[in-house]
Amino acid sequence: MASATYADSAPAPAPAKRRRRTPPVMPRAAWWGTSAALAVLFVYPIYVMLQQSLKDPREAAQTPPTHYPHNPSFDNYTGLSNTGDINVFDHIGNSVLVSVGATIATVVLATLGGYAFAKLRFPGSNLVFFATLATFMIPFQAIITPLYIVLKDLGLQNSLLGLGLVYTTFNLPFGLFLMRNSFASVPGTLEEAALMDGCGTVGAMWRVMLPVAVPGLITTALFTFFASWNEFFAALILISDQEQFTLPVTLTLISSGVFGSIDWGLLQAGVALTIVPCIVIYLLLQRYYVGGLLSGALK
Partner 1 sequence: MTRHMPAAGAAQTATGATPAPPAAARRPPRRRRLTLRGRRQAVGALMAAPAVLLITVFFLVPLGLTFYMSLNQWSLLGAHTWIGLENYTRAFSDQGFRDAFMFTLEYTAVITPILFLIGLGLALLVRRPRRGARFFQSVYFLPVVIGFAASSFLWLYLAQPSVGPLFDIFKALGLADENTNWFANKGSALLVVVASITWKIVGMQMLLLLAGLQSIPVEVEEAARIDGAGRWQTFRYITLPLLRPTLALVLVFSVAGSLLAFDQFFIMTNGGPNNTTITAVYEIYRVSFVQFQLGYGAALSVLLMVVLAAVSAVQLMLLRNTDHN
The Cα–Cα gap between 65 and 53 comes to 13
CB of 282 to partner 1, least distance (A): 4
Interface with partner 1 in residues 171-200 (CB under 8 A): 172-173, 176
CA triplet 194, 204, 197: central angle to 5 degrees? 25
Report the b/e string of 224-247 with b at 16+ CB within 10 A: bbbbbbbbeebbebbbeeeebbbb
CB of 271 to partner 1, least distance (A): 5
Q: Does the footprint of partner 1 cover residue 42 (CB under 8 A)?
A: yes
Interface with partner 1 in residues 229-258 (CB under 8 A): 229-233, 236-237, 248-249, 251-252, 255
Closest CA relative to residue 227, chosen from 36, 99, 90, 63: 99
Q: Does the footprint of partner 1 cover residue 165 (CB under 8 A)?
A: yes
Q: Does the footprint of partner 1 cover residue 259 (CB under 8 A)?
A: no
CB of 85 to partner 1, least distance (A): 20
Among 267, 269, 288, 292, binds partner 1 (CB under 8 A): 267
Interface with partner 1 in residues 109-148 (CB under 8 A): 109-110, 112-113, 115-117, 119-125, 128, 132, 135, 137-148
User: Please, are residues 89 and 242 in contact by the beta-carbon 8 Å criterion?
Assistant: no
The Cα–Cα gap between 289 and 299 comes to 16
CB of 177 to partner 1, least distance (A): 11
Classified as helix, coil or strand, 245 is: coil
Interface with partner 1 in residues 77-106 (CB under 8 A): none
